[in-house]
Chain A
Amino acid sequence: MLSGEKGFIVAKMMELIVKMCEAYGCEKLVRVNHVHVSGVSYVNIGDYGLEFIKDIHSYRPRASVYTTTNPVCVDLTGLSRILSNEFIDKQLVINKYFEEMGFQPTYSCIPYYFRKPSVNEHLAWGESSAVIYANSVFGARTNREGAPLTIASSITGYTYFAGMHMDENRVVKISLNVDRDVEPELYGALGYWIGENIHETPIIKGIVENYSSIKIMLASAAATGDFALVVIDKITPKGSYRVSDYLEKISVGFKDIEENVFRGREEGYVLGYIGCPHLDPLEFRTLVEKFSNRRVKRECGFLVSIPYPFLSIFRSEIDFLRKRGVDVVAGTCPIVSKLTVKPDLVLTNSGKAFFYFKNIHGLNVRIASFETIIDNVTEK
């Protein structure tokens, strides 16, 4: 491939992977079965990223393996009143280029719901929350890749054998015990705390087997820390990690994480937000059931982000939620988009969303359980 027999762009993309391999002192490349491309949102990559994608696309490359795509910067239903559609034209150009390259229009940060990775399978994924879920829940192997490298892996079908692909980098060094007073509904706050306070790969004990909550916890830990793997006792497949001879023991309880958790009631415009990472089908159905006898209060907002393919799967449910005042956005999220509103308070169950609302949007934000969010922004 490097010598150009498959064309200039394949050779260039291969060179990128080989150079990355050399830079990290690794000795071989490895084939991947699934690539998840990050850097899809125009708000994130800007004109220079768009230029790059346009230039790559001009060589007419094709994905050589199954490739999914991260969220975009506009609501693909076109109906949101909370997320801006300012950059829709530029975003649709990016989408067109990627789709013509054979990438799947999932526009979602939960690619594992479209293709489930297997244990010890090599992947090349961007999007920190998806990477940590693949490594920690499925026992698959992927680094936190940058956007150009994911495109290169899709076109060539390879990545470099370093970091999380190697057994010696998947070693548990800390045992973290989670007290029973940390409810799964607050795993967003737990993940936020883990990312801020734990700096070696932990094995976490005491986690309840609730995959929606685990998804939120892992995304939050990956946002505040640089984790690509957090071993979860009884969930992470054995054989996908090793345990160090000496384990430092730490425990965490509600008192450690309560600092960012919402208490009481709030006046003014409260925006509830769930769907970071994107809602999975179970969370979505729970949400629909909750709204059987509720609607969003006139003075509040409720934003829910879902994968793009849900639009065709749950068409009538989405219409129902909209009629109840829920701002359902597809293929995007407020982390990679812009808000049109300036709420007095944002309530979210995600530590990742908490982190970005606070640091990028500069908003007053608290972590709350799904139930608490519903209680505060809806009425019967």
Chain B
Amino acid sequence: MRRLLIEVKPVIAKPFTGSVLVIDRYISFYGEVDVENSVYKPLNIHIANKVLVFKGSRGSTVGSYVIYGLSKRGGAPIAMIVKNLDPVLVSGCVLTDIPLLVAQNYDDLIKNLSQSSTSGLKATYRGGSYVEIEEQ
């Protein structure tokens, strides 16, 4: 994969660029994320300053406050690209100004990304309906 354009529906449309991290799961921010260390505990993986691609959030509505806590400590993802929206994500991202985009073809995106080493991918969003993903 050299370059991929993915169609998105922006919820919080702020431009960004950063390394892609795929966690193809629903994340319960309350319980599964260690705020002090910015770690997604089930996979022991750092989520700070990454463009986080994941299915969406689940679990307690306190999750919004966890996103807020991550952001205040400088440990939040740069942006979130998800399959499904829910109130926890929308609240958390509005309160912190974290860009939030819904991937129109999330499953295709995951298929494409799984064929590459995601650690070497960079996502760029300049506004509008597309995110550009390319090898770094």
A39 to chain B, nearest CB (A): 7
Complex contact B12–A19 (CB within 8 A): yes
**Which residues of A have CB within 8 Å of B66?**
48
**With A46-B62, A146-B61, A147-B62: A51-B91 Cβ-Cβ less than 8 Å:** no
**Which residues of B have CB within 8 Å of A147?**
61-62, 64-65
Complex contact A23–B61 (CB within 8 A): no
**Does any Cβ of B come within 8 Å of A20's Cβ?**
yes
- How distant is the Cα of A379 from the Cα of B91 in the complex, in angstroms? 51
**Does any Cβ of A come within 8 Å of B27's Cβ?**
no
Complex contact B87–A20 (CB within 8 A): yes
**Does any Cβ of B come within 8 Å of A274's Cβ?**
no
**Does any Cβ of B come within 8 Å of A22's Cβ?**
yes
Interface residues on A, range: 20 to 34
Of A38, A39, A44, A48, which contacts B69 at CB under 8 A? A48
Complex contact A47–B11 (CB within 8 A): no
Complex contact B95–A39 (CB within 8 A): no
**Does any Cβ of A come within 8 Å of B88's Cβ?**
yes
**With A23-B11, A146-B61, A147-B64: A48-B90 Cβ-Cβ less than 8 Å:** no
Of A16, A38, A45, A47, which contacts B95 at CB under 8 A? A16
Of B11, B68, B91, which contacts A149 at CB under 8 A? B91
**Does any Cβ of A come within 8 Å of B5's Cβ?**
no
**Which residues of B have CB within 8 Å of A145?**
87
A275 to chain B, nearest CB (A): 23
**Which residues of B have CB within 8 Å of A46?**
62, 65
**Does any Cβ of A come within 8 Å of B21's Cβ?**
no
- How distant is the Cα of A22 from the Cα of B12 in the complex, in angstroms? 10
**Which residues of A have CB within 8 Å of B126?**
none
- How distant is the Cα of A217 from the Cα of B13 in the complex, in angstroms? 43
- How distant is the Cα of A327 from the Cα of B30 in the complex, in angstroms? 31
Complex contact A49–B62 (CB within 8 A): yes
**Which residues of B have CB within 8 Å of A148?**
64-65, 91, 95
**Does any Cβ of A come within 8 Å of B35's Cβ?**
yes
A282 to chain B, nearest CB (A): 31
For the residues of B in contact with A, the DSSP-based class is helix
- How distant is the Cα of A121 from the Cα of B64 in the complex, in angstroms? 28
**With A19-B90, A48-B35: A39-B11 Cβ-Cβ less than 8 Å:** no
**Which residues of B have CB within 8 Å of A59?**
none
**Which residues of A have CB within 8 Å of B68?**
48, 51-52
**With A16-B95, A148-B95: A22-B65 Cβ-Cβ less than 8 Å:** no
Question: What residue in chain B is nearest A19 (Cβ atoms)?
Answer: B94
B97 to chain A, nearest CB (A): 10
**Which residues of B have CB within 8 Å of A12?**
94-95
B76 to chain A, nearest CB (A): 12
Of B62, B69, B72, B85, which contacts A23 at CB under 8 A? B85
Question: What residue in chain B is nearest A152 (Cβ atoms)?
Answer: B91
Of A16, A19, A23, A45, which contacts B65 at CB under 8 A? A45
Question: What residue in chain B is nearest A50 (Cβ atoms)?
Answer: B65
Between A and B, 10 residue pairs with Cβ closer than 8 Å are A16-B91, A19-B11, A19-B94, A39-B62, A39-B65, A51-B68, A146-B88, A147-B64, A148-B65, A149-B91
* Sample of 9 further A-B pairs with CB below 8 A, known A39-B62, A48-B35, A148-B65: A16-B94, A19-B12, A19-B94, A20-B94, A23-B11, A38-B61, A51-B69, A51-B72, A146-B64
